[in-house]
Amino acid sequence: MSILGTRVIRTEDPRLLTSGGVYVDDLREPELAGAVRATFVRSPVAHALITGIDTSEALAQPGVVAVLTVADMTDMPDQVPPEPLPEGSPPPEGPMPLGGVWSEPLLAVDRVRFVGEPVALVLTDSTYQGEDAAELVSVEYDQLTAVPSIDAALTGETLLFPEAGTNVCTKGLGDISDDSIFDGCEVIVEGDVLNQRVAVVPMEGRSTAAAWVNGKLTVWTSTQNAQIARLILTAIGLPPDAIRVVAPDVGGGFGAKIGVDRESIIVAWAAKHTGRPVRWVETRSENLVSMTQGRAQQHHVKIGGSKDGHIKAYRLDVVQDTGAYPRMSGFLPMLTNLMAPGVYDIPAVQAAYKVVVTDGTPVAAYRGAGRPEAAATIERAVDWYAAEAGLDPAVVRKLNFIRPEQFPFVTKTGAPYDTGDYESALDKVLDAAGYAELRAEQQRRRDAGDTKQLGIGLASYVEITAADAGAGETAKVEVHDDGTATVYTGSSAHGQGHHTAFAMIVTAELGIPMDKIEVIHGDTDLIPDGIGTYASRSLQLGGSAVQKAAIEVKDEAAKRAAELFEAAEADVVLDAETGIWHIAGDPDKSLTWSQVASAADEGLIVANVRFTADRPTFPFGSQLSLVEVDVETGKVTLLRHVTADDAGPVLNPILLDGQRHGGIAQGAAQALCEEILYDDDGNPLTSTLADYAAITAAELPSFELLRSETPTPVNPMGVKGIGEAGTIGATPAVHNAVIDAVSHLGVRHIDMPMTPERVWTAIQQGGAKKVSAE
C-alpha cells in the first residue's frame, strides 16, 4: 500500500519540539558574530514632508555604530523606474510594484506617506541600545492633510503622489456600465459590502540578518522564497551570484513574506555599506504598522434573478485600498474580479476594479490574496437574493451551482475551472451539520423570543491555486551510495510540512524509507533556481516536481540496475514498497538502492527538473457556520464550523487538515473580530496585539472537517492547493451565520467584523435596510 494518502506525523517536529525552531533572531552563524543590531526610526505621522533629520544626538549614544538615512545611500545604484506603458496598454496586473510616479523609496526621501514608514536606520552594538538611540534621532515633519480612507482618496482633494495627479493608481478594463443585464430580473438586490483591512500577524515578524564577506553578501531572512528574495536584493547593486539568501525556520508568512520588502533591502545594504554584519528583528508594533496588510476592499454589488431562484446577472465593482504604495499594482482586485461569480453559473457577469492609494500601511497578499474578497461578497449577495426571494439559501445555491458535467468550465470572467462537484460538497456539509434540525431549533428559538438566537451560515466557494502555474517549480533528487536520498526543492515551507510531504512522495516512488530522506529548501547556494511557497502552489507544482525528479532517478537507476543484473532494462523492476530492485520473475536476484547508486558515476543518481503546469487549479468546497447571537448585547459565539474542502487527492490528511484549521481560524477572525483602524489623521488605532483583536482559542470551536477529493487533470497526482481554501470559505460562512441569526429582526446586512456593538446596532436599526431591493 502506498504511503500516499496516509497519516504520517511530521518529520519536522522532533527538532521544533525539543530544541525549538531556529529563526533569524536565533541564528548563531559565525558570519554573524558581532552583528550590530538594526533599529528603524519610523514616521509618527501619516502624511508629511520631511524638512530635516538630525542624527547628532543619536550618534553620541553608547554603542551606536551608525545612523543611516537616504543621504547615505549614494552607493546604491539609481532605481530605474520602469518604462511608462504605451498608450492603450492593459493595466499592470502582476504582483509587482507599479513603480514610475508611484515608486516607493527604501528609506524615506523627502516625504512620508504612512505612520511607520522607515526614515532612518540606527545600528548599535546591542539590542538594548537600539531603541535608546533611535528615540534621539530628530526628524522634522511638515504635516500634510491625511488621506485616511478610500472615500478621502477618491475625492482627490489631497494627493499622496502629486505628480500623478490622482489617487487612483490603476484600474481594470471591466465595463460595468450596461445595466440591461438586469432587465427582466424579478428580484434585484444592490448594496455595499466592506471587506475590511486586516493585519497578517505571523507570530514571527519580519527579520533579516546580513553579512558582507569577501565580496559576497549572505542574507538570512524570514521569507517565503529565497530565490525571489535574492532577485529583489540585486537592487542594492550586486549581481545574483554575489548574493546568497537563506531562509531559516520562518515563523509564518501567509503571503506577507513573499520575497523581501524595503526594510530587508535596507538592512542588506547596510551590511555592505558598513562592512559589519547586521541583524534586524522587528517588534510587533512595527509589524502591525509596517508589514503589509490584507484585504481592504470596498465593493458595490448588484445581483438579479428570477423569483424562483435562478440568478441571471451579477455585477461587482471593487475599490482596492492599496495603502501608501501600490506594491501589487492591480493584482489583488484583478483576482477578485476573476473569481467574482464563484461557484455559480451566472449568464451575465460584470466586474470592474480601481486601486487607490491612502496613507495607510501598504496592502499586499494575505492568505487568499484577492479571492476571499470575491467569495465573501458573492456569498453575501446570494444570501441577499435568497432572502429577498423568500427562498432557503441552500436551495438557491444548489439551483445555481455549475454542474459536474459542465466541467471544464470557463466563467464569464474568464476563469478556467478544471473540476468540481459543488453540490456534493454542500450536501455533505448540510448532512453532517444536521441542517434541517438546526433550522428547526432556530425557529423554536425565534418563536420563543430567546435572548440567544441561532444563526446558520453557508458558504460555497471556489478558488484559484497556482495562479502562476507556468512558472512551475524546481526539484532535484539525489540518491547516494549509502542508500539515502536528498531532495532539494524550490518550494519554501514555513509551517506547511513540505519536508514530510515531499519525503512521502519520494518514498512512494522509490521505496526509500522516510527516515533516510533529507529535504532541503531555502538556500540559493544549494537551490539557485526556485519560485517558493505562496498561492497554494507547493504540492501541485513543488510536489509534482519532486515526483518528476524521483521518476527520472528511478529511470536512471533502472539502467544501472540492468547493467548490474546483466539483464534487459525492461525486465528490471523496483518494488516501491521495499525499495528493492529485482529482475521480473527472478526473486533470488535483488539489489538495494545503495548498491545501485554505488554503481553510478560518482556514486550518485541525480535528477534536476522543473515542473510546470499549463494552467491553475480550482479547489472548492462548502462551509457551514453555526453561531449564537445574544440579541441584547450583540455578542456572537461560534458554536460549530463544518466544512467540506476539496483540493483533490489527499497526500497526508494530517497536513491537509492542519491547513484547513489554520485557514478557517483566520477566515472566521476576519468575520468576527479583526480590523485595522485609523483615526481621521491617519494614525493607527490598532497597533498592538492588545488592540488588534487577533483571534484566540477561546473564541473558536473545534472544527468538523469532511473529506472530499475531486482530482484535477492538470498534474499527475491530480492535486490542487489547500493552503488558502479554508480562509476563503470561512469568512462568508461566519458572516452569513451572524446575519442569519438576526434576520428575523429585520437585519439584512452587517459589515465585518461583526463586533458585538456592530451586531447590536444592526438589531436596533432592524428594518432600516442597508441594501436596496427592487
Residues 687-706 that bind another protein (CB under 8 A): 688-691, 693-706
What string marks each residue from 23 to 42 as x (binds another protein by CB under 8 A) or -? x-xx-x--------------
By the rule CB under 8 A, 770 interacts with another protein: no
Q: What would the 3-class secondary structure string for 407-428 be? A: CCEECCCCCEECCCCHHHHHHH
Query: What part of residues 191-220 is at the interface with another protein (CB under 8 A)?
Result: 201-204
Output DSSP code: residue 251.
-
- Nearer residue to another protein within complex by CB, 409 or 703: 703
Dist CA 459 CA 451 (whole Å): 26
497 SS3 class: coil
Residue of 43, 221, 298, 755 that binds another protein (CB under 8 A) = 755
Report the b/e string of 4-19 with b at 16+ CB within 10 A. beeebebbbeeeeeee
- Nearer residue to another protein within complex by CB, 98 or 728: 728
- Nearer residue to another protein within complex by CB, 33 or 697: 697
By the rule CB under 8 A, 7 interacts with another protein: yes
The distance of closest approach from Cβ of residue 478 to another protein in the complex, given in angstroms and rounded to an integer, is 27
Query: What part of residues 385-424 is at the interface with another protein (CB under 8 A)?
Result: none
What string marks each residue from 699 to 738 as x (binds another protein by CB under 8 A) or -? xxxxxxxxx------------------x------------
- Nearer residue to another protein within complex by CB, 256 or 553: 256
The distance of closest approach from Cβ of residue 626 to another protein in the complex, given in angstroms and rounded to an integer, is 9
The distance of closest approach from Cβ of residue 493 to another protein in the complex, given in angstroms and rounded to an integer, is 9
Residue of 101, 173, 685, 768 that binds another protein (CB under 8 A) = 685
Residue of 686, 710, 712, 731 that binds another protein (CB under 8 A) = 686
The distance of closest approach from Cβ of residue 40 to another protein in the complex, given in angstroms and rounded to an integer, is 12
> CB of 360 within 8 A of CB of 323?
yes
Dist CA 33 CA 23 (whole Å): 16
Query: What part of residues 643-682 is at the interface with another protein (CB under 8 A)?
Result: 653-655, 657-658, 660-666, 673, 677
Q: What is the largest CA-CA distance in the chain?
A: 86
- Nearer residue to another protein within complex by CB, 68 or 642: 642
By the rule CB under 8 A, 584 interacts with another protein: no
Query: Angle at the Cα of 53 (from 47 to 58), degrees rounded to 5?
Result: 125
Residue of 640, 720, 748, 749 that binds another protein (CB under 8 A) = 640
Binding segment toward another protein, per CB under 8 A, in 52-60, 64-72, 125-133, 230-238: 125-133
Helix, strand counts (H, E) of the chain = 18, 29
Give alpha helix (H) positions in 673-724.
none
- Nearest CA among 3, 164, 136 for reference residue 62: 136
Residue of 504, 638, 737, 762 that binds another protein (CB under 8 A) = 638
> CB of 303 within 8 A of CB of 292?
no
Is the Cα dihedral 270, 216, 232, 500 positive or negative? negative
Burial environment of residue 563 by CB neighbours within 10 A (0 to 12, 13 to 18, 19 or more): middle
> CB of 302 within 8 A of CB of 190?
yes
The distance of closest approach from Cβ of residue 682 to another protein in the complex, given in angstroms and rounded to an integer, is 15
Helix (H) or strand (E) holding 454: strand 452-462
- Nearer residue to another protein within complex by CB, 244 or 494: 494
Cell of 607: 535528477
By the rule CB under 8 A, 128 interacts with another protein: yes
In sequence order, the 6+-apart residues with CB closer than 8 A to the CB of 286 are: 40, 42, 116, 205
Cell 438586469 belongs to 182
The distance of closest approach from Cβ of residue 534 to another protein in the complex, given in angstroms and rounded to an integer, is 14
Residue of 494, 499, 582, 748 that binds another protein (CB under 8 A) = 494
- Nearer residue to another protein within complex by CB, 27 or 176: 27
What's CA 711's distance to the chain center, in Å?
23
Residue of 265, 469, 558, 642 that binds another protein (CB under 8 A) = 642
> CB of 714 within 8 A of CB of 613?
yes
> CB of 543 within 8 A of CB of 651?
yes
Dist CA 388 CA 398 (whole Å): 17
Residue of 398, 635, 744, 769 that binds another protein (CB under 8 A) = 635
Q: Are strands 216-221 and 243-246 parallel, antiparallel or unpaired?
A: parallel
Dist CA 271 CA 211 (whole Å): 6
The distance of closest approach from Cβ of residue 362 to another protein in the complex, given in angstroms and rounded to an integer, is 20
Dist CA 352 CA 114 (whole Å): 27
The distance of closest approach from Cβ of residue 306 to another protein in the complex, given in angstroms and rounded to an integer, is 36
Query: What does residue 546 show for φ and ψ, rounded to 5 degrees?
Result: -65, -40
Residue of 31, 135, 450, 571 that binds another protein (CB under 8 A) = 135
Residue of 158, 761, 766, 769 that binds another protein (CB under 8 A) = 761
- Nearer residue to another protein within complex by CB, 605 or 626: 626
The distance of closest approach from Cβ of residue 656 to another protein in the complex, given in angstroms and rounded to an integer, is 10
Binding segment toward another protein, per CB under 8 A, in 129-137, 158-166, 380-388, 402-410: 129-137
By the rule CB under 8 A, 10 interacts with another protein: yes
Task: Tell me if the bond preceding 408 is cis, omega within 30° of 0.
Answer: yes
Query: What part of residues 222-281 is at the interface with another protein (CB under 8 A)?
Result: 249-252, 254
- Nearer residue to another protein within complex by CB, 477 or 647: 647
- Nearer residue to another protein within complex by CB, 134 or 606: 134
- Nearer residue to another protein within complex by CB, 119 or 759: 759
Report the residue count for the chain.
Answer: 774
Helix (H) or strand (E) holding 274: helix 262-274
- Nearer residue to another protein within complex by CB, 530 or 726: 726
Total chain residues near another protein (CB under 8 A) = 89
The distance of closest approach from Cβ of residue 285 to another protein in the complex, given in angstroms and rounded to an integer, is 6
In sequence order, the 6+-apart residues with CB closer than 8 A to the CB of 590 are: 580, 581, 582
> CB of 304 within 8 A of CB of 277?
no
In one-letter notation, the amino acid at residue 605 is I
Query: What part of residues 289-348 is at the interface with another protein (CB under 8 A)?
Result: none
- Nearer residue to another protein within complex by CB, 204 or 523: 204
What's CA 410's distance to the chain center, in Å?
24
What string marks each residue from 78 to 117 as x (binds another protein by CB under 8 A) or -? ----------------------------------------
Q: What would the 3-class secondary structure string for 347-376 be? A: CEEEEEEEEECCCCCCECCCCCCCHHHHHH
Residue of 20, 77, 156, 716 that binds another protein (CB under 8 A) = 20
By the rule CB under 8 A, 536 interacts with another protein: no
Residue of 57, 529, 632, 680 that binds another protein (CB under 8 A) = 632
By the rule CB under 8 A, 138 interacts with another protein: no
- Nearer residue to another protein within complex by CB, 336 or 686: 686
Cell 438557491 belongs to 396
